[in-house]
Structure formats: structure tokens, C-alpha cells
Amino acid sequence: MKKGGAAEPPALPEAERDLFRSAFPDVEPITPHGRFLHPPARLPPVPLNRLRDEREVIFESLHDPVRWDEEMENGEELSFVRPGLSRQTLRRLRRGDWVSQAELDLHGLTKREAKLELVEFLHECKRRGTRCIRIIHGKGLGSKNREPVLKHHVRHWLMQREDVLAYVQARPVDGGGGAVMVLLKSHR
């Protein structure tokens, strides 16, 4: 075997070699250049442990108990603002001062499917630099006992995300109690 891992060509019988040389008298053989030929670059390893850990975190977060706040019990509109931000942020979001740049509709999805869709959607919004979004979770009219299931889970999942600054129930024109308007952190 030659340097660099290349195989040597098979040896020709003497008669064929002489015949070839007589057919091409002006051609000189290429001399080996003496350089090392590197093997092709390998693809970077797939971080299987990290991927498994991320899947476990998503799975565990699906089974986190939802914190039922007092607001949920007394029927008031739910809202959230990250500590350190003014309540004015909520008022501006509620009034529609920010225009929704993207929306996600979770109608008909299971809790697990909704969580995965939400995570992917928020990741894509972060990648695109989207600041204000609308998430439609539905009012629960088609669910068992006609109670909203995703509504409370979506809001709980949003509170857990560091990139969510605030959210409020959407205005009636934007879906009312079946949707939530979310303000995301700027990633510039």
C-alpha cells in the first residue's frame, strides 16, 4: 500500500508493459509526489446523551403538575408578567399595542403533541426574532366535560420558559378565552 492509504495498481506482465510503452513513447510516468493524502473528514459525533437528556426534560415537563392559581378558581382572566417588568407591559399587550407576528393553533392535539408543537414553535420564533405571538389553545368546547385542557397547560408551560416575558388572554377579536397573546424576549 502507498502512503496516504491508496492501493498500488496491479502489476502488468512484462510483454504488456513493453507494448504500452511503445504505443506512448513520449509519455513519462508520473513520479510519486511524496505528500500525505489525508483520509476524508469525519462528520462530527452526534451528542446522543444530550439529545436523550433533552427528550427526558420535555417528557418530565409534560407530567409536571399544573399550579392552579387563585385566578383560575375565581374565573378571572389569566395573565403573567416576568418579575422585574412593569404591569404596563401587560396593559400594552392586552390593548394590542404589539402586532402578532406569528401564531400557533393547538386545536385537536393531545397534551403531549401540544407541548412538542409549542416547544418547536417557540424555538422557531426565537430563531426568527419574533417578539409577539398568538397561541390558540381553544376553549375546550370539544373536550370531556366541555372544560379547557390545553388552556391551563399552555399557560403553565409558558411561565416555565425564560424567553417568555409576559402573556395575556387574547382580545375577543383575537380569540378571547381560547387564545393567549405572548410577548417574547428580544434575541438581538
Task: Write the single-letter amino acid at 156.
Answer: H
Task: Write the single-letter amino acid at 28.
Answer: E
What three-state secondary structure class fits 81?
Answer: strand
Structural domains for the chain: 49-184 (3.30.1370.110)
pLDDT digits (tens, 9 = 90+) for 122-161: 999 988 999 999 999 988 776 666 667 788 889 999 999 9
Confidence of residue 35 (pLDDT cuts 50, 70, 90): confident
Averaged pLDDT, 29-53: 75
Full-prediction pTM beyond 0.95? no
Residues with Cβ < 8 Å from 134, sequence gap 6 or more?
A: 100, 102, 103, 104, 170, 174, 175, 179, 180, 181, 182
Instruction: Tell me the H-state helices in 63-168.
Output: 70-74, 87-95, 111-128, 150-160
Averaged pLDDT, 79-86: 89
